[in-house]
Chains A and B, each alone.
Chain A
């Protein structure tokens, strides 16, 4: 199975800050990497698919890059609604696996 790790596991930031979360796969997954946002009590929401494609309706302050094993997600100019937990996921091979999550909270 492909293991996904995320760093950091949590971070504190202020509104207007730019933050980067990194996801790493235990082997190459090409660009089969997705990013999700989840708020307490809510279902996950897809932000980025295919490593860098912004899902329709997602603000352009979210951006994803990378290929093979290393995938950064950047949120430029954090907004109050961005404080949440972020998960990466690989859909390169079965079983699909998620990273452990990165919690972004308010400093």
Chain B
């Protein structure tokens, strides 16, 4: 079964740090871009970061640049999000998601849809 399982969410004070993990199973993890997406309580979805298949390219939304770091360990089928200098506005459910449904537009390039999602892990930033 294709699956993503997140862990590591917790209650942390402002300024604190947390490391989220996402373990993949049922597919060749190293063949896919991977993403973190978050959802604040009662709000919509916000893309946070993504990382290329071999880890050579990483991208972030501006609001987390310099504070969050995405990484992966393909040998362990694992995706991570190191979160530092946490703020109240980082409070959210954090999902990992696979970039798997591809629309090719030439020369091996593609856009993708996020076709597999974990169940989410909750991060609460509060004193």
Contacts and interface: CB of A to CB of B under 8 A. Distances in A.
Contacts of A97: 47
**Main SS of chain B's interface residues?**
strand
Interface in A13-68: 30-32, 34, 36, 38, 43-46, 48-51, 53, 55
B105 A94 contact: no
A53 B111 CA distance: 12
**Main SS of chain A's interface residues?**
loop
A100 B61 contact: no
B105 to A, nearest CB: 7
Interface stretch (B16-24, B71-79, B84-92, B117-125): B117-125
Contact of A34 (B46, B62, B114): B114
A101 interface: yes
Q: How large is the interface on A (under 10, 10 to 19, 20 to 34, 35 or more residues)?
A: 20 to 34
Contact of B113 (A30, A34, A38, A100): A34
Contacts of B112: 49, 91
Interface of B: 35, 37, 44-47, 50, 59-62, 95, 97, 99, 101-103, 105, 111-115, 117-120
From B47, B101, B111, B117, residue with most partner A Cβ within 10 Å: B111
Contacts of A45: 117
A67 B61 CA distance: 24
15 contacts: A30-B111, A45-B117, A46-B113, A46-B114, A46-B115, A49-B112, A50-B101, A50-B103, A50-B111, A53-B103, A87-B44, A89-B114, A91-B99, A91-B111, A98-B47
